[in-house]
Amino acid sequence: MDEIRNLIARFANSFDLKDWKGMQSLLMDQVSCDYTSLRKTKMTLSVEEYVQQRVDALEKLQTQHLFFNLEISISDDQATCRCSALILRRFQGDFFNTHAVYEFTLFYKTDRWLIEKIKQEVLWNEGNPEIHSGLKHT
């Protein structure tokens, strides 16, 4: 379970450090994304497409992704991890923050866990959504 906790922490930190190669190394070749709660989108993307969308939406923002209250269950080579999240975003003194619950599905491939599915359920947002260009890609 520590390996999964560390993977989820590295995923969150990769956003804030703009470590896009590091993020890519944590994902399966295809990533199923359910962001209907925030962006009204649900799709499967290649790992490159997923990371590029994050680069485009977040490169200019200061962010901090805090993931906590991890609930992990493992069955053979598949795991699920549900966690609480606080995503802080700032741009030129303005902010847009999201309080959410995530559910990740992971698979054990080639001697390591990788994220295959990401579902975000927004509890509430606060601030100015105009600073988050990722909302405009819907």
Inter-CA distances, 8 with 17, 81, 91, 131, Å: 14, 9, 25, 25
At residue 40 the predicted structure's pLDDT band, cuts being 50, 70 and 90, is confident
What percent of the chain has pLDDT above 90? 91
Say yes or no to pLDDT of 135 above 90: no
Q: How confident is the model at residue 138 (pLDDT cuts 50, 70, 90)?
A: very low
pLDDT confidence bin for 55, thresholds 50/70/90: very high
Q: Is 74 exposed, middle or buried (0-12, 13-18, 19+ CB in 10 A)?
A: middle
8: exposed, middle or buried (C-beta count within 10 Å: 0-12, 13-18, 19+)? buried
CATH number at 12 reads 3.10.450.50
Least Cα distance to 58 among 129, 131, 123 occurs for: 131
What does DSSP say about strands 112-127 and 94-109: parallel, antiparallel, or unpaired? Answer: antiparallel
- Number of domains observed in the structure of the chain: 1
Residue-wise pLDDT for 70-121, tens only, equals 999 999 999 999 999 999 999 999 999 999 999 999 999 989 999 999 999 9
Q: Give residue 72's domain range.
A: 2-137
